[in-house]
A and B are shown apart, each in its own frame.
Chain A
Amino acid sequence: MNAVADFFSTFATILWESLQTLLPIIVFFILFQLLYLKLPRRFLAKVFSGLVISFLGLALFLFGVEYGFEPAGTYMGNVLGKLSYSWVIIPIGFLLGFMVTLVEPAVRVLSYEVDKTSSGHIPEKIVLYFMAFAVALALALGMARIIYGFPIEYLIVPGYVIILLLLKFTSGDFTSIAFDAGGVATGPMVTTFVVAIALGAAEVIQGRDPILDGFGIIAMVAMVPILVIMILGVFYERGEDAN
C-alpha cells in the first residue's frame, strides 16, 4: 500500500513540476505570437497539441528518472564503491560512455558535419569512433576522480589550457564544431543514470564529499570531446598544408 501511495504522490508532484517547467516558454511563445508572429490558427493548433505531447513525455521521463534511475543508480554506486576492487567502476564508466555515444543521434549529426567540413578527409565513421572514445575516456576519468579523490581542477585546468593553446592551430570551422561537440556528447543517459552512479559511489567511499566529488562527470563529458575534435582538426589541417 505504501509503495502504491509513494508511486502516486511522486507522480503527482512530477506532473506539477513538468507543467512549471514548460510554462515559461509557453508564455514566451504567446507574447511573441501576439506581438510579432501572428501565425495562423492551424499552425497554433499543431503547436498546442505538440506541447501537450511534450508535457506528458516530460512527466514520464522525469518520473522514470526519479522513481527508477535515481534510486537504482545510487544503489549501484553504493555497491560498487564499497567493493574491495572499487576501481572496477572506472572500466564500467568507460564501457557505458562508449556504448551510449555510438548510438547517440546528435553525435551522428556532428560526425556528418565534420566529414563535410573536411571535405571528406575525416570520414564520418572515424569521428564517430573518436567521439565514442572521448566520452568513454571522460567517464573513466570522472569515475577515477571519485575513487582516488583528486579535485576536478586537476583535470579541468590542464584540459582547457590545452584547448586554449590548440585554438591557435585550428581554423574557425573546426573550432566551432569542436566546441559544439562538447555539448552534443552529453546525452540523457549520462546526465541521468551515470550521474546517479557517481553520486552513489561518492556517498560510500571514505573521505569523499557527494557535492565536491560526486558531481563533475558531465563536466568531463563536455570537455574531452572538444579536445579530441580539435586534435583531429589540427592533424587534418597539417595534412592539408603538406599538400
Chain B
Amino acid sequence: MQDEFKDTLWQIFKGVAPVAILVLILQFTILGMPLDIVGRFLLGAVLVTAGLSLFLIGLKMSIIPMGEAIGSELPQIGNIAIILFWAFFLGFTATLAEPPVRVLATYVEIASAGELGGDTLVGITALGIGIFIALSILRIVLQVPIAYIFAGGYTLILVLSFFTSPEFVPISFDASGSTTGPVTVPVILSLGVGVTSVLGGKSSVKEGFGLVGIASMGPIIALMLMGVIAT
C-alpha cells in the first residue's frame, strides 16, 4: 500500500515536474509574472500531484475492482437488453466522476461567462459515453467489424460538424478527449474484457481493444446534436 502510493506519486510527479521546470524557466526569461501567480502555480502543482496520486490509489481499491466484478457478473444476467441498460448506466456514472471532464466544464463556464452551463456539458458528455459503451457491447455481441463502426461514426461526426452551431465543434471534440481519463478507461476495459469472454464467442482479448475509441465518439455526437438543436 505504502509502496504503491510512492510508485503512483512518482509517476504523477514525473509528469508534472518537467512542466513546472519549463514554466519556471519561462518565468525568468520571458514571462515575469507576479509572485503570487507563480506561488499559486507551484501550490497548484503540489496539490495536483498529491491529489491525483490519492485519487488513483483510491480508484485501485474501489472503482477498478468494482468495475471488474461488474464486468464479469454482467454477462451472466443473460438478457441482452438488461446488460445494455447496466452498461449504459455504468458508463454514464463513471463519466460524471471523471476529473478532467469536470475541469473542462469549469473552463467552458468561465470562457462563456456562464452562458454554457458546466453541468449540462458534463451531463450530455456522460450520456454520449453511456450510449456508446452500450453500442460497443452490442457490436461485440453482433460481431460487427470495428472499422465499420469507426467509419460510420466519424462520417456522421464530419457531417454534423457542418450543421452544428460553430462554438460546439471545438468543445465537443475537447469533451470527448477529456472523458478518456483514469475512471472511465479502466471501467470500460474491465467491462469489455468481461463481456467478450462470455458473449464474444471467439473470446479474444483483442476484442477489448477499440472500446475506448468507440466510446469516445459518443460525446462528440451527443454534443454536436445538442448544438444542432440549440440553433
Contacts and interface: CB of A to CB of B under 8 A. Distances in A.
B185 A211 contact: no
Interface residues of A, number: 104
Contacts of A75: 33, 37
B104 interface: yes
A65 B48 CA distance: 7
Interface stretch (A122-130, A149-157, A233-241): A149-157
Interface in B73-110: 73, 76-77, 86, 89-90, 92-94, 96-97, 99-100, 102-104, 106-108, 110
Interface in B140-169: 145-147, 150-151, 154-155, 157-158, 161, 166-167, 169
B44 A67 contact: yes
A63 B15 CA distance: 18
Interface string A134-158: 0000000000000000011100110
Contact of B41 (A51, A68, A223): A68
Contacts of B41: 68-69, 72-73
Interface string B18-32: 110011001000111
B166 A151 contact: yes
A212 B177 contact: no
A222 B93 contact: no
9 contacts: A21-B99, A51-B58, A66-B106, A92-B22, A99-B19, A152-B169, A152-B170, A172-B147, A215-B171
A111 interface: no
Query: Counting chain B CB atoms within 10 Å of each CB, which of A73, A80, A180 scores highest?
Result: A180
A45 B179 CA distance: 28
A5 interface: no
Contact of B111 (A51, A79, A211, A223): A211
Contacts of B116: 211
B50 interface: yes
Interface string A90-115: 00100110011001111000000100
